[in-house]
Every structure is written in C-alpha cells, then in structure tokens.
A and B are shown apart, each in its own frame.
Chain A
C-alpha cells in the first residue's frame, strides 16, 4: 500500500533551458569582447570550409577571423584552413553535432587572441546541429546548388532557426536543375526574415555581399567596428 504516497511534481520546463542559459552567458562574454560568433550549419560537402578560406582571403588582415571547426573525426579541415586563418579542430568522436562545452573548450585556447569574428563550422548535418545553441550571435545555413532547391521544407528546423541562408556553388548552376528563387522563397516561408545570399566562393561572386552581411551583423550584435577597419567601411579585395 504505497499508492497514497505517490506525488506529482509539476515542472513545465524546456529540457534545453539550462543549456540555453549557458549559451546566453557565452554570447554575452563574446559581445563584451567585441567578437561576433557565427555558427555555420549545412550538409557535408556544401562548401563551408572553402567559404571560410575565401572569406579570410577576401578580408586579408582587415578583419581578424578565427574558426573552430567541428568534425566527427580527423583534423583535415583545420589543416586546410590553417594557411588562411587561425583554426582549431574540434572532434566530436562520433557525435552528430557540436556542443557548447566543446566550443568553450576550443575557445579557451584562444582567450588572449583578439578576434573580430569567431566562426563555428558545425558538423556537416542539417538535423541535429539546429537544436543546439552554441552561444552564437548569428546562425547561417548553407545550401549548395548540388543538394537541390527542395531542402528548406525538408529540414525546416535548420532554416527556421537561421538568420542567413547562403546558396553556395552558384558557378554550377548552368549544369543543375536548381532554381535559386524557388529555394529562397521556400526558405522565406519558413523563416520570413532570413537573409538570402547566392554565392560562388571559388569564383568570388556574392562574396562581397556575404562579407558585408557579416559586418552589418557585427555592428548590430557587438556594436563596434573591427579594430582594423578604416573609417570608410567599404571592403576592397
């Protein structure tokens, strides 16, 4: 006769509430340091690493960028990026997404490094990473033209939670049945204020627009100009 001792504890709490608070704290720390944090989400092979290398090349020493690059295994991406910007490889050992703890572990190695933008290159996966706040100010999802223009509706959470959509590999458009407007419209039905930029990192189209977007985001969230940016903020290659 233990039934009369049974009790119900009402909780009504988001299971990620604590994680979100930790992420908000990290975000505040980074805001105070003047570093914009950008979380890049996409399928494997959509062009995140190439985009980062070309973004760093575009800016040269004008904007100081660093990247924490997540993969399940190997440090290939960090090696690929090393000639262009400081890069630390985070290996998840099988996990499908980066966690805030792993990001903070990587970031600890850099606490003294002054950075205008910290990129987090998430594990290639359009599903799990979209559920995890890594303390970023801006979330950007990449969709390569080779993946098909029907992906936003198939992976709604990734698009719903992103502030920007980069349609990558536009140099391949002549060979693919990919309609940039269809993909953009689909994404906007899910996230109406998503900023859509089509680009080819390899050939350079759209890169200036992307870099301008990042600078606007930096002003909005961090509220300062990068230390090395001239009074005239026009970016020249």
Chain B
C-alpha cells in the first residue's frame, strides 16, 4: 500500500525532468517493474489515476511494463531467472548471486507533446 507515495515521487521527478528539458505537456510516462520491486501494478495505476488529477499530468497515461527477475552468479558469471525467489545459481549451485533486474521501479521515458 505504499504505491501512493511512490507515484507521488514519480510525478514530482517527471515534472522536474520535463521542466529541465524545456517543458511541455506530458502524454505518457513509461515505467517498468519486476516481481521484487515491492509494488502492485494495479495499485500503481489506481494511485496514478487519482494523483494525476491534481498535477500537471491530467492528460498523461501511465504505461507499466512488467519485467522478470534476473540474477547473475558471481562464481560462474551466468545469468538466470530465479524461480520462486530462489537465488541459488541453477548452473553451478553457488549461492553467491546478485540481483540484476526486477527489484526496482524504473522510470524508462516520458513522451511530451509540444
């Protein structure tokens, strides 16, 4: 249920970026998130629908792309998609692995009209 705070932060960051880029009306905000991002896309969309009313983004659409969880093994250097959040390397069995993607909400891009 922290999607509200997250979307609020997203909107203020986008506002700053667009202003620094010369301004304009935001038509689309594209983000991607994975299974360990700690957000529910449905709740993000609901929060966005409410919050955009009081922002400069009344016209904007939020596009959420879901990405899989990806990890890399530090022993054999192979990447894999952890199943059921098991981070043991399926190639060599090592537990020395790091998350590469799927654990964050990434702001990809913004489409701005003139």
Docked Cα-Cα span, A172 to B5, in Å, equals 38
Would you give the 0/1 interface string for B4-37, flagging 1 where the beta carbon is closer than 8 Å to chain A?
0110011001000110010010010001000011
Q: What residue of chain B has the Cβ atom nearest to residue A160's Cβ?
A: B36
- Tell me the complex Cα distance, A19–B8, Å: 13
B95 touches A188 (CB 8 A): yes
Report the interface size for chain B: residues with CB under 8 A from the other chain.
38
Q: Would you call B92 an interface residue if the criterion is a C-beta within 8 Å of the partner chain's C-beta atoms?
A: no
A14 close to chain B: CB less than 8 A: yes
A60 within 8 A of B: no
- In whole angstroms, how far apart are the Cα atoms of A229 and B5 in the complex? 41
Please tell me if the beta carbons of B95 and A192 are within 8 angstroms of each other in the complex. yes
With an 8 Å Cβ cutoff, the count of chain A residues facing the other chain is 34
Least distance between A76 CB and chain B CB atoms (Å): 22
Contact A157 B24 (CB under 8 A): no
Smallest beta-carbon distance A194→chain B, Å = 10
A interface with B by C-beta (< 8 Å): 2, 5-16, 18-19, 95-97, 99, 127-128, 130-132, 153, 156-157, 160, 188-193
Q: How far is the CB of B86 from chain A (nearest CB, A)?
A: 5
Contact of A15 with B107 in the complex, beta carbons under 8 Å? yes
Given contacts A6-B111, A130-B38, contact A14 B18 (CB under 8 A): no
Are B105 and A15 in touch, CB under 8 angstroms?
yes
